[in-house]
Amino acid sequence: MTDSPILIRTDNGVGWVTLNRPERRNAFDDRMIADLVRGLAALRGDGSVRAVVLRANGSSFSAGADLEWMKRMSLFGRKENLADARELATLMGVLAEMPKPTVALVQGAALGGGAGLVACCDIAIAADKAVFGFPEARLGLIPAVIAPFVVQAIGPRAARRYFLTGERMDAVEALWLGLIHRVVPRARLEDALRDVLADLTACGPAAQAAVKDLVAAVSGRPPREALDDCARRIAEVRSSAEGREGVTAFLERRPPAWRTGNGRIPAVPPRR
């Protein structure tokens, strides 16, 4: 096995991104962050990739920032710390703004920045024993870079509670708050993932990119203010090559051109 902190492979239209520091509970440092940014950018530009799955080796999904790295950075000045924090912000932005569907597969603890990665993904599936939390305040820190994505996922009031207390939540509570979308037994995680990937790859890739842009555009806007923009968007999509192909395929009772086989995803590549 490679000692790289990130493992990336593509298979049958899926980009697999695996956090690979199990001995450090997949806590990230500057190297891991840089590798993630580069890997996600490469998958974004790969036309064969229809969806991206973020998962992890070992018992934890991610413990967030590596404390040894944080201790090292605390010895530097504000300028160096700002540059370092902006690299982490870049990672969260690249993941959140990926035009392709992203899925977090959470098999264990996702804390701090690890929970932030989950919040950045479009879909999150978690094992029933997974736990989540934002312990930064217990270390005299704040969950600043991940805050926009977490607050968007669980709302400001819940964010105040969990940011202020640093307490952990179980998978059921994370589901109820909206941080994750589905909870399954650990043994059924990969089955649940295959179901989601089959649904994702049944849809038009250009439509999915347009959907993600649409959600970002209408979020927080009054409906009446957004309506004209929405009308323009559907008019453009309906007249696009993919839109015409999708409607024609439906009327002709055949699979659209972007689908292959029966839309099912093969066996999930094994973890370490």
- The residues assigned a catalytic role are 136
**140 contact partners, CB below 8 Å, separation of at least 6:** none
Contact 267, 201 (CB under 8 A): no
Task: Name the maximum alpha-carbon separation found in the chain.
Answer: 66
Give the pairing type, strands 182-184 and 123-127.
Answer: parallel
CA–CA dist 150, 225 (Å, integer): 26
Q: Where are the beta strands (DSSP E) in 161-257?
A: 168-170, 182-184
Contact 19, 118 (CB under 8 A): no
Helix (H, G, I), strand (E, B) or coil at 183: strand
Plot region of 55 (φ>0 → left; ψ -120 to 50 → alpha; else → beta): beta
Give the pairing type, strands 131-133 and 51-56.
Answer: unpaired
Edge-to-edge strand list for the sheet holding 131-133: 110-111, 131-133, 168-170
Give the single-character DSSP code of 103: E
